[in-house]
């Protein structure tokens, strides 16, 4: 969902999409490093969108 928002929803700030995805990962993730993984993936996408 965050990737869709980042690519197609101009009314949602990119940082909000990333933050919401990380919060969901924290609440649903069974592994401690899940939010870090999500942050890394979405961070790379942000880098590509910005360039």
Q: What pLDDT is recorded for position 51?
A: 53
Would you state the structure tokens that stand for residue 5, as one six-digit string? 């928002």
SS3 category, 22: helix
Per the structure, the count of domains in the chain is 1
- State the residue range of the domain holding 26: 2-50
Chain segment 5-45, per-residue pLDDT in tens: 999 999 999 999 999 999 999 998 778 899 999 999 999 99
pTM, two decimal places: 0.83
Cα–Cα distance between 39 and 8 in angstroms, integer? Answer: 19
Helical H runs in 1-51?
2-8, 14-28, 34-50
23 Cα distance to chain centroid: 9
């Amino acid at each position: 969902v965050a990737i869709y928002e980042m690519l197609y929803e101009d009314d949602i700030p990119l940082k909000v999409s990333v933050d919401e995805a990380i919060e969901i990962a924290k609440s649903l993730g069974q592994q401690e490093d899940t939010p870090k993984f999500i942050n890394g993936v979405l961070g790379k996408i942000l880098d590509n969108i910005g360039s």
